[in-house]
Amino acid sequence: MESRVKLFGHPIHPMLVVFPLGLLATSVIFDIAYQVTGHGDLATVAYWLVVAGVIGGALAAPFGTIDWLAIPKGTRAKRIGALHGGGNAVVLLLFAVSWWIRSQAPIDQIPGSAFGLSLVGIGLAVITWWLGGELVGRLGVGVSPDAGLDAPSSLDRHPRADDRHPATAHR
C-alpha cells in the first residue's frame, strides 16, 4: 500500500518521525544523566529535547493519520496501524504532561513526576515504534508498488518500460 502524502516521491510520515524518535529518546538519556550527576545543564537540555520531540511528533502525526485512513478496513495493517497511532498519541501526551510539569519547575531541575512520565512514555514508545516497523517492513504500508533493489528513482516520473521489467525488479 503506497503512502498518500509524499515529498519528491517519498512518504512524509517516515521522514518526520525520525526527529521525535531521536529527540524523545535522547531526552530520557539526558534525564538519566541528570539523575546520576545532578548537573542542571543536563536537565535544561532534556527540557528542550522534550519540547522539540513533542512538537515534532505533533507535526508527524497528521501524515501518519492520512496514511492510516487509506489502509483497507478489516486488515491486520489497519489494526496494527491503530495500535501504532493510538499508542504514539499516548506517548506524546505523556511527554507533553512531562513538559508541562518541567515548565512549572526551575529549568535546571527535573521533577520526579516528569522523569517518571518520560520513562513510561519511552517504554511505550519502544512498542509503538516497533509496530511502525511492522507496518512498513512486514505489511508494506507506505511502500511503493514499484519498490525493488533495481527500481528507478522516485524522481523519475516516467520510468522506461525495461526499468520495470520483472527480471530487474529484485524484491
Whole domain around residue 52: which residue ranges?
6-145
pLDDT tens, residue order, the chain (171 aa):
667 777 777 777 888 899 999 999 999 999 999 999 999 999 999 999 999 999 999 999 999 999 999 999 999 999 999 999 999 999 999 999 999 999 999 999 999 999 999 999 999 999 999 999 999 888 888 877 778 888 888 787 655 544 444 554 444
In a domain, residue 46? The reply is yes
In this prediction, residue 2 carries a pLDDT of 67
In a domain, residue 31? The reply is yes
Give me the number of domains the chain comprises.
Answer: 1
Q: Which amino acid is at 154?
A: S
Q: Which residues pair with 7 in a beta bridge?
A: 10
In a domain, residue 155? The reply is no
CA 30 to chain centre: 20
In a domain, residue 156? The reply is no
In a domain, residue 80? The reply is yes
Q: Which amino acid is at 93?
A: L
Residue closest to 85 by CA, chosen among 97, 93, 75: 93
In a domain, residue 38? The reply is yes
In a domain, residue 161? The reply is no
In a domain, residue 65? The reply is yes
Find cell 520513562 and name the residue: 119
In this prediction, residue 171 carries a pLDDT of 45
Handedness of CA 34, 102, 23, 28 (dihedral sign): positive
User: What number of other Cβ atoms are within 10 A of residue 150's Cβ?
Assistant: 12
SS (H, E, C) 114-163: HHHHHHHHHHHHHHHHHHHHHHHHHCCCCCCCCCCCCCCCCCCCCCCHHH
